[in-house]
Each structure stands twice: as C-alpha cells, then as structure tokens.
Structure 1
C-alpha cells in the first residue's frame, strides 16, 4: 500500500484537484501491478498560520509517503522511483508555484494487514486477483 499524506494550506486544492491527484497516484502504482485500492491519498489542510518552512510562512506542500506493499533494495531503482514520483507531483506543486518537500518511508511488508489479512505475496496470482477485483479476497 502506498499511503500518501499531503499537507497543504486551505484553498491550495479544489475537490477536482484532489480527485485528479489521487487518480494519478493510483495510476502510477497500478502500472506495477498493485491493486488500485492499495493507493490511499489523504489531504490535510493546515492553516496558513501553522505552516512554516525555515521559520517563515510559505505556500508549500509537504508530502509523506509510506510504502508497505513494495520496497526497493537497489539504490538506483529507489532514486529513479523518487524522481518519477517527483514528476507525478509537479503538476500539483512546482507547476503551481508551490514549494514542495517529500519523503518516502519504506515499511516492512510483514507489519501490514488489510481487511484482517496479510496481503498476498508481491506478484502472486492472489495479488493479481485482488487487483482485478479491486478489493481484498480470501486466498
């Protein structure tokens, strides 16, 4: 599961922007065979007088991403993924003149459950079934 926490000032995103951003996030991970329902985007509005960078109020977006379904051991692949995610965020951040900072946390897969079960192994038939159904299934 990629879990995205997107922190922003009020008025930064419309409801349509949020839907589009969440759809783009889901499409990114679905390309790699993850079930769409694994992708979760949570938008957190932070009052302007509570969002500071370097001690100054700023039009900024801060994103924290938790990767639970997949982890990358190869540093080159991690760097490539981080650049791809940066590019995914650009239309919602840099391209709008917003300061962006983000990080990715990789959480051990064996510490994650969904719908009361451990997720099926990565790339397995059961995971493909979950992706097709877009929901957890008994396996």
Structure 2
C-alpha cells in the first residue's frame, strides 16, 4: 500500500488537477504490478495562515509524505528510478504554478499491514494477480 498525503497551500489545485495527479501517482505503482486500489492519495489543504516554511507563510508549497508497505526498495538503482518517476509526475504540475515542494518516503514492515482484515498476498503471486484483476481485496 502506498499512501500519499499532499499537504498544500490554499487554492493551488483544482478538483480536476487533484484527480489527474492522483491518477498519475497511481500509474507509477500500477505499471510496477500493484493493484490500483492499493494506492491512496489524500490532498490536505492547509487553512490560510496555518502552515509555515522557514517560519514564514509560504503561498505555494506542498509537503508530501509517502508511506510504502506493499513493496520495499531493494537497491539504490530502484530508489533513484522511483524518485525520477515521482519527479516526472510532480514537476509538470508544480513548476508551472511556481510552487515549492518537498517529499519523503518511509517504508514500514509489510507484516504490519492488513486490508479488510486480510493479509495481502505475496508480491507477484497468483493471489495478488487476482487482486489486480478484481481491483479489490478478496479472500484467498
């Protein structure tokens, strides 16, 4: 399960931009074989005057927290490829708006994760392929 929390300055994204960005983020993972329903993207708009960067209100900022549980990075090459894909998704949206952004990724142990009370199937297994096919958690 990748979960993204995009905390951002007020009024920087339209509903259509949020949906397109969520689809682009989801595609990063789907192209690697994960079920689309694993991916969560939450846009959290900061209230005016409630978020600060360097002690000052920043009018166009996004702080992004990314949690990974479904897969772990197994090499520096894979990490760099992922960073490149993230930048390819974020830069075309954020740069034209004159935004600054920062993100970090944290990985958690897969054995601490459940979906609808179920242990998610092993990566690449037939059970996971079924979850991809039906795009939801099903008993196996």
TM-score by length of structure 2 reads 0.94
Q: Distance in 1 between matches of 2:19 and 2:84?
A: 22
Report the equivalent of 2:43: 43
Number of aligned residues: 139
Q: State the Cα deviation string for residues 111-130 of structure 1 (Å, max 9, x = none).
A: 10001111000011111110
1:44-123 correspondence to structure 2 within 5 Å: 44-58=44-58, 59-123=60-124
Q: More deviation in 82-91 or 105-114? A: 82-91
Q: Distance in 2 between matches of 1:12 and 1:91?
A: 14
- Asked if the contact 1:94/1:100 (under 8 Å) is kept, the reply is no
TM-score by length of structure 1 reads 0.95
Gaps of 5+ in 2: none
Q: State the Cα deviation string for residues 49-73 of structure 1 (Å, max 9, x = none).
A: 1121111211101100001100012
Q: State the Cα deviation string for residues 88-124 of structure 1 (Å, max 9, x = none).
A: 1112222321001000111111110001111000011
- Asked if the contact 1:8/1:43 (under 8 Å) is kept, the reply is yes
Q: Distance in 2 between matches of 1:76 and 1:34?
A: 19
Runs of 4+ in 1 over 3 A off after TM superposition: none
